[in-house]
Amino acid sequence: MGNLRVKSKEKTILVVDDEEGIRESVREILSDEGYRVIEASDGTKVLDLIRKERPDLVLLDIWMPGVDGIGLLKQIKEEEPEVHVIMISGHGNIHTAVAATKLGAFDFIEKPLSLDGLLLAARRALAQSPAFKIPERDGGRPKKGKGGRRPRTSRSVKAAVRSFKQKTLKKSVVISGQGLHSGIKTGVILHPLPPNSGILFSGISADATVPAYLDYVGSTGYATSLRGKGIQVGTVEHFLAVLHSYGISNLLVKMQGEIPIMDGSALEFCHLIEEAGVKEEEEEWSEIVVDRPYQIGVKGGECISIEPADTFGVRYLLNYPNPVGVQEYTYVYKGPESFKEEIAPARTFGFLKDIEKLEQLGLVNGGRLSNCILIDDEKVINTELRFANEFARHKILDIVGDFYLLGRPIRGMITAHMTGHTDNIALLREIKKGMALQRPTLS
């Protein structure tokens, strides 16, 4: 924990818990970090203590004899809305966390407490959080070789690398849903993060995090999943496509195992970001400018490539037997509205003949008529298509999400034919290797 120590300037934290051992452990660790700690063994005098001591943060147990922690949270936020409250529970789950966040809790952590997770949550609440650093502006340019000269490329990019303000959300927001592959009812809680934090996924307690970065891709079978020490996050691509398109660079994403599938598209995640509001931060970051063509070829004619361009775009061509047939779409990014209108509404699709195989693999346990377009040998059987080429557009949605795993916006034109997540990730690895891109590191 020594590398996490910060100067607290006597920030005051109120710890409310009926278990003396927990209060003692929390008091010791917080005091050792330089915080002023006050305590309460029940919730009856919490509001009086807040008025008298004016704490910067309240750690509030949900389950205490005679007191409803959720009800007390509501009272605190009504009477003292500026005070940050982190809820603590030994019997919580993602649904309790979602309920607490909706009532204004800054965060929610589980017992037994991870001291690292507790400190990180407290520091985020007090705007003192260490996090993952976004690489400094190399602009995606190739590094200099021996003699100071840059490696030659078949096509070089002469356009200047553009810089943008980093962005997070204006407030925490939540959404509930079901995991497509796990079948588990889950949810997502989004918390703003300071500049240079990156996109971090965590469980409810946030004692382990995994960054949305290529090096942490765990699997690509039917969805893109991330894996870090002590945490795995499934089906991230639709959500990451929204963050990519809205330019969100710093965010903590708390979930339980898998990002919910919602209606099979990314539209509800767009609404969630808009509900929270996008906040520009003082620090800047730069785009990755593709320096030359890169390509991945797959047996059977499938391939995906990227080449230098003035903007970011994706052209996708698919060719399935009837009733799908040939579909093609070209998308050029012109801002979040273009993404929201053209790509975000396109839903996940699947063929009835493949469902049994997927079920045997332990997948699509959360597949429902409402969250996946189902196709038999003759027609779409459960819905009306939103676009004539909705399947091609959905493939573009997956690519936009996967391509945010380089950690920054990218400039280049992608062309893909009958490819999927595995091919997307393979191309990203070629780009990373060819351009010597750096991965985020702990600050």
pLDDT in tens, 122-140: 988 887 654 555 655 444 4
The neighbour count for residue 71, using CB atoms within 10 Å, is: 12
Three-state DSSP class for 346? coil
Q: Which of 84, 181, 191, 421 is catalytic?
A: 421
Please report which confidence band the pLDDT of residue 441 belongs to, taking 50, 70 and 90 as the band edges: low
Q: Quick one: what percent of the chain has pLDDT higher than 70?
A: 82
Identify which of 171-180, 292-301, 324-333 has the greatest average pLDDT. 324-333
Domains of the chain: 8-128 (3.40.50.2300), 163-286 (3.30.230.20), 289-438 (3.30.1700.10)
Alpha helix ranges (H) inside 10-114: 20-32, 46-53, 69-79, 94-102
How much is the pTM?
Answer: 0.78
Q: Is the pLDDT of residue 443 over 90?
A: no
Q: What are phi and psi of 165, to 5 degrees?
A: -70, 135
Cis previous bond, 440, omega within 30: no
> Is residue 421 annotated as a catalytic residue, yes or no?
yes
Label residue 207 by pLDDT band (50, 70, 90): confident
Q: What is the predicted pLDDT for the residue at 157?
A: 40
Looking only at Cα atoms, what is the longest distance across the chain? Answer: 74
The model's pLDDT over 229-284, given as tens digits with 9 standing for 90+, comes to 888 999 999 999 999 999 999 999 998 888 988 889 999 999 999 999 999 999 99
pLDDT mean across residues, the chain: 84
Closest CA to 410 of 305, 280, 310: 310
Q: How far apart are the first and last CA of the chain?
A: 13
Per residue in 78-87, pLDDT tens?
Answer: 999 999 999 9
* Mean of pLDDT values over 316-326: 91
pLDDT value, residue 383: 87
As a whole number, mean pLDDT of residues 160-188 equals 79
Average pLDDT over residues 316-321: 92
DSSP structural state of residue 348 = P
User: How far is Cα 244 from Cα 239, in angstroms, rounded to an integer?
Assistant: 9
What does the chain come to in residues?
443
Average pLDDT over residues 37-53: 91
For residues 236 and 199, the answer to whether their CB atoms sit within 8 Å is no
